[in-house]
Amino acid sequence: MKTLTAPGTTTRGLLILAAIHLSSAASVDVPALDQDGGDLIVNKSQVFSLACIGNKPLHWSYPTYSTLSKEYASIQKRFKIEDLSLPISNEYQSVLTINTTQYMDTGKYRCSYNSNPTDSNSASVYIFVPGEVIDLHVGPSS
């Protein structure tokens, strides 16, 4: 698992990384992420961005929560998807940014060419955001 400790990543930096992979992604039926697809640990309260590139329109899927959850409204405000595609040249780019990461952002993030992603038609990465540490010490206090 990789740990990301840098203070947020800029969209410009992600696009430079994404452009490097674009030529290889254009010949494959699966889009590519600027992260290598492994597990990542992202510290709480960071700005985290993930770029996806491909040769068709792109769709994101990420952990979602019940609309009854108090946190749901804040998730929608903290997530941003930026479309940087050039459809005329079949170069599609999308950047998902999470402002102020929280433990509930933990999960699999996928980029695919359709809205029903599977492991075989999408690029994905698992993001873990540690939560609060709770001391579960049981017994007499000293």
Task: Quote the CA–CA distance of 99 and 88 in Å, as a whole number.
Answer: 31
% residues pLDDT > 70 (the chain) = 63
Three-state secondary-structure class, residue 20: helix
pLDDT tens-digit series, residues 46-66: 999 999 999 989 999 888 764
pTM, entire model: 0.69
Residues 6+ apart with CB under 8 A from 109: 50, 60, 61, 62, 63, 96, 124, 125, 126, 127
Cβ atoms of 38 and 125 closer than 8 Å: yes
Task: Quote the CA–CA distance of 124 and 108 in Å, as a whole number.
Answer: 7
The confidence band for 104, taking pLDDT boundaries of 50, 70 and 90, is confident
- Judged against a pLDDT cut of 80, whether residue 6 lies above it is answered with no
